[in-house]
Amino acid sequence: MFVRTLSDVRDSGREIVIAGGSARTARFITAADGVGFAFSDVSQGAGQEANLWYKHHWEANYIVEGTGEVEEVATGRKWRLEPGTIYVVGPEDRHVVRAETDLRLISVFNPPIMGDENHDADGSYPPTGPIPPGPG
Amino acid sequence: MFVRTLSDVRDSGREIVIAGGSARTARFITAADGVGFAFSDVSQGAGQEANLWYKHHWEANYIVEGTGEVEEVATGRKWRLEPGTIYVVGPEDRHVVRAETDLRLISVFNPPIMGDENHDADGSYPPTGPIPPGPG
């Protein structure tokens, strides 16, 4: 077993700025840990907007603090984000996350990301392994 | 994509009592969702102790609220649990979680659990798929 604190993550340089500067993420678990998922604690500042499209991953985001909304680009459908809500996106799900207040989310990726990548122009990360099938 | 709230989880009967009555868990994502991990929001009451040993899974637990400790049974080593700390256990890691105050944790399993299983006498869940290699 292993145990890590936010200080450990910061001291090892695994707290980084992502999504075009709109968010900060602390990468607690990455592909190198070999547990089959990546785990991050993400903060998006009030008023910030992130345009994202994980073409090669499934990601769950669970809201711990704050409010905002997530929009599915293909349909224009929007959901309110508040503590106790989770949104889950896959390769087909181009989406926009808007923070109304400061927003804190727990992010889990499968396949696990490396942890040092940043979003490309489409809001995507490079492939890191086989993509789960999703709910089908 | 899909979005779920704590009300959705409760209404669908996926908030259950586990670990011999010592904890309550809201199963937001399970094996049926096909995203390659399970995701739960777990509450363990102050003073409660859970004896656990996930022989067939890797699990990460991230402390969101409260304080306590986790003990590795094989070595007797203990770590303090407080917000911003994550502990990660695999098939070799028999462990005890003690809540000092009410403790709230985000739990992620790979392979994903079914969501309706409960701990056996050893504190284990039945196998649900290939076990990741771990950090090695």
CB contact (8 A) between residue B1 and residue A87: yes
Q: Which residues of A touch B34 (CB under 8 A)?
A: 132-136
Å between A20 CA and nearest CA of chain B = 23
Residue A104 has pLDDT above 80, yes or no: yes
The string of pLDDT tens digits covering residues B1-10 is: 999 999 999 9
With CA atoms as reference, the chain A residue closest to B63 would be A5
Q: Which residues of B touch A88 (CB under 8 A)?
A: 1-4, 29, 33, 35
Q: Which residues of B touch A5 (CB under 8 A)?
A: 84-86
Identity of the residue numbered A132: P
> Residue A91: how many CA atoms within 13 Å on its side-chain side?
15
Q: % helix / strand / coil in chain A, to the nearest 5? A: 10, 45, 45
pLDDT score of A63: 98
Q: Is A126 exposed, middle or buried (0-12, 13-18, 19+ CB in 10 A)?
A: exposed
Kindly report which listed range (A28-42, A46-60, B67-81, B112-126) carries the lowest average pLDDT score.
B112-126
Pairing of strands A49-52, A95-99: antiparallel
pLDDT score of A51: 94
With CA atoms as reference, the chain B residue closest to A72 would be B1
Residue A136 has pLDDT above 90, yes or no: no
H-helix or E-strand containing B44?
strand B38-44
The string of pLDDT tens digits covering residues B85-106 is: 999 999 999 999 999 999 999 9
With CA atoms as reference, the chain A residue closest to B41 would be A84
When pLDDT is averaged across residues A86-95 and rounded to a whole number, the result is 97
Q: Is the peptide bond before B132 cis (omega within 30 degrees of 0)?
A: no
**How is residue A8 written in tokens?**
């450990």
CB contact (8 A) between residue B110 and residue A36: yes
Strands (E), A30-67: 38-44, 49-52, 58-65
When pLDDT is averaged across residues A89-115 and rounded to a whole number, the result is 96
**Residue ranges of chain B with per-residue pLDDT less than 50:** none
Determine the 3-state secondary structure of B1 from DSSP: coil
Å between A6 CA and nearest CA of chain B = 5
Determine the 3-state secondary structure of B5 from DSSP: strand
Identity of the residue numbered A74: A
Determine the 3-state secondary structure of B91 from DSSP: coil
Q: Taking Cα atoms as reference points, which of B122, B128, B134 lies closest to residue B52?
A: B122
A126 vs A79: which has the higher pLDDT: A79
CB contact (8 A) between residue B86 and residue A29: yes
Is residue A17 very low, low, confident or very high in pLDDT (cuts 50, 70, 90)? confident
The pTM score is: 0.95
Å between A115 CA and nearest CA of chain B = 15
